[in-house]
Structure 1
Amino acid sequence: MPARLFIIIFLSFFLLIATAAAAPAAAGISSAAADTSGTPPQDAAAYIAEAQGAVAESNWTFVLTVTTRGLAWYPDNPDLLCLQGYTFRKTGQYQKSVDIISKAIPLDPKAVRYANRGYGYLALGNYSAALNDADTGISLDANYTANYGVKALALSGLGRNGEALAAVDTALGQSPESAHYWHVKGAVLAAGGDCTGAQSALERSIAINPEYVLPWPGFGTAEEKLAAVKTGCNPAPAGTTPVKSPLGWIAVAGAAGAVMALGWRK
């Protein structure tokens, strides 16, 4: 058999298998809302619980299936809408995420919903919209830390690194052992020209949890950002002061605590 013909047959067979494997998942989502006549098979809380369980396992296909099925019966349920929007963000479908969470917010405006949509705006590079959501979320609940993380990234994206650092330090003041906020702080410090501080913050993030769940697929890990800082961080120009954090002592105390904890384990 000529080599060219063999390659064509092989590729056709491979595509057939791939299509067959993807079909059940796609069919499950598209047909989830096919029949909504009669009595709902379960109440909204049951769909929410199923979806939350799937989120905990990062089973995004099942989350979409469950939320689609639930929304067919309860189209105005803000929790189902936000769970689906969260899943779209985690799977890289950022505009879909923003659009569906925008349906939920007027139904039940909460700080968590603004943070959820704010991260979607960040993923799209819409820093002004993300900042608006963060500020609104903070006004609703100043103790819901995630909005300070959104605010820090939005301000940094707008080039306002001093304000960004203040926002992430507020988040760390509330959640000092958050790998994500140390990660964000490292990114903000690097953007402000404090390469040493950025490296310290990113190392702290990695020490806490090098595999924490990223807010969206393209965010990049702390290890990747640390490598970039070590090889390509641009220090603040001579005669200027890098943007530094008033909470630098937290990193020192945290590092000391980590060393002590490791010592106790040995």
Structure 2
Amino acid sequence: MESEKMLHVLKATVLLCIIANAALIFPAGAVNAGVSVAPAEINITNATATLHIAFEEGNWPRAAAYAELITNNNPTSGEEIWYEWAYALRMMGAYNESLKVADEGIERYPNNHLNYLNKGYAYIALGNWLEARKNAESALSIKPMEAAAYNIIALGLLGQDDEKNALIATEQAVSLEPDNAVYLNTKGMILIKSGDYGKAVDVLTAAVESSEDRYAIPYPGAPTPEQNLNEAQRLYNETSVSPMMIFAAAGLILVVAAGAGLLRRLIRKR
């Protein structure tokens, strides 16, 4: 009898150990967008590794959940955690939440420019062009050669119908990272809005060719290079005149001119 009691106690102890270890590795709610109640203790190193893996895989809900879990247990865990948390929320379309996290990250790490970029793209998604540009300028004050900041400024200017200065800003971004599909895509959109469809086709073709396996859209629903290329090609086809049509028009003009000359001569003879 005593041995059976000991066996039950041993089984219960083993089960509790398994549950405890599982909670450390897979915290409750970690697969959801947020973690409302974090365990009293977690393995920060393992949780951080899980966050980075989820971030690289584009598993934004899992990345956001682990970032929240880590910062709840260790608010000074590092500037990268706050950046990845705000980024993941932005890619989930949770723009206001992303802005709040980015602001806290900036408050804790004021010399890190990355959360200003998070805020800039979130404001672009929200259509707040001025705030987007302000945050991009703040990023440039910390890192003057940050291509993403120039891209945000270009998108903000494009949203304000200032294609001329938008093109200047995007040229700066492309000059810093010539093969970046995101920046080439922005340039293509500006050229479309400017009516330069032929050049837009060339730039967007380069953007499509530069795209990696997973195109890094700056926010959900942002137009991709493929979508913009199709639009540019359609507009180019609708507005361009083929060489054959030019030759035909020129021939018609010559025929009309010759006919008019003949008619004048006939009139004079009369």
Confirm or deny that 1:221 pairs with 2:224. Answer: yes
Q: What does 1:1-266 align with in structure 2 at a 5 Å threshold?
A: 28-29=31-32, 32=35, 34-37=37-40, 40-43=41-44, 47-75=47-75, 77=77, 78-109=79-110, 110-209=112-211, 211-232=214-235
* Matched position secondary structure for 1:217: coil
Alignment partner, residue 254 of structure 1: none
Alpha-carbon distance, 1:143 to partner = 2.0
Q: Are the aligned partners of 1:182 and 1:202 in contact in 2 as well (CA < 8 Å)?
A: yes
Q: Is the 8 A contact 1:76 1:104 kept in 2?
A: no
Secondary structure, aligned partner of 1:169: helix
**2:218 match: secondary structure:** coil
Higher mean alpha-carbon deviation, 182-191 vs 108-117, is at: 108-117
- Residue-by-residue CA offset, 1:90-138 (whole Å, 9 max, x unaligned): 1122222122211211211222221111111101111100000111111
Deviation at 1:71, TM superposition (A): 1.8
> In structure 1, what is the Cα distance between the partners aligned to 2:55 and 2:233?
34
Greater shift after overlay, 86-95 or 128-137?
86-95
Larger Rg computed on CA atoms: 2
Cα separation, partners in 2 of 1:125 and 1:133, compared to 1, 3 Å: same
Higher-RCO chain (CA-CA 8 Å, sequence separation at least 6): 1
Aligned residues: 210
1:98 counterpart SS class: helix
AA of the residue aligned to 1:55: F
Against the structure 1 CA distance between its residues 223 and 170, is the aligned structure 2 distance closer, same or farther, given a 3 Å change threshold?
A: same
**CA contact under 8 A between 2:38 and 2:69: conserved in structure 1?**
no
Q: CA deviation at 1:187?
A: 0.6
CA contact (8 A) 1:149 1:184 kept: yes
Note if contact 1:32-1:68 (Cα within 8 Å) is conserved in structure 2.
yes
| Identity across the alignment (%) | 26
8 Å contact kept, 1:112–1:144: no
Aligned partner of 1:201: which letter? V
Q: Secondary structure at the match of 1:103?
A: helix
Q: Give the AA of the match of 1:105.
A: I
Please tell me whether the aligned partners of residues 111 and 147 of structure 1 are also in contact (alpha carbons under 8 angstroms). Answer: no
CA distance in 2, matches of 1:75, 1:123: 28
Cα distance in 2 for residues equivalent to 1:158 and 1:209: 27
Q: Is the 8 A contact 1:25 1:61 kept in 2?
A: no
For the residue of structure 2 that corresponds to 1:119, the secondary structure is helix
Cα distance, 1:232 vs. partner? 4.3
Q: Is the 8 A contact 2:155 2:166 kept in 1?
A: yes
- Alpha-carbon RMSD across the aligned residues, in angstroms, is 2.7
On the 8 A contact 1:214/1:221 being kept in 2, the answer is yes
In 2, the alpha carbon distance for the partners of 1:223 and 1:60 equals: 23
Consecutive unaligned residues in structure 1, runs of 5 or more: 1-23, 237-266
Query: Structure 1 residues 221, 35: CA separation in 2 closer, same or farther (over 3 Å shift)?
Result: closer
What SS does the corresponding residue of 2:215 show, helix, strand or coil?
A: coil
- Whole-angstrom CA distance in 1 between matches of 2:164 and 2:33: 46
Counterpart AA for 1:184: T
**1:188 alignment partner AA:** I
- CA displacement, residues 155-200 of structure 1 (integer Å, 9 cap, x when unaligned): 1111121111111111111111111111110011112221112111
**Which contiguous aligned blocks of 4+ residues in structure 1 show a shift greater than 6 angstroms?**
none
- How many Å separate the matches in 2 of 1:209 and 1:183? 10
> CA 1:25–1:195 in 2, change beyond 3 Å: closer, same or farther?
farther
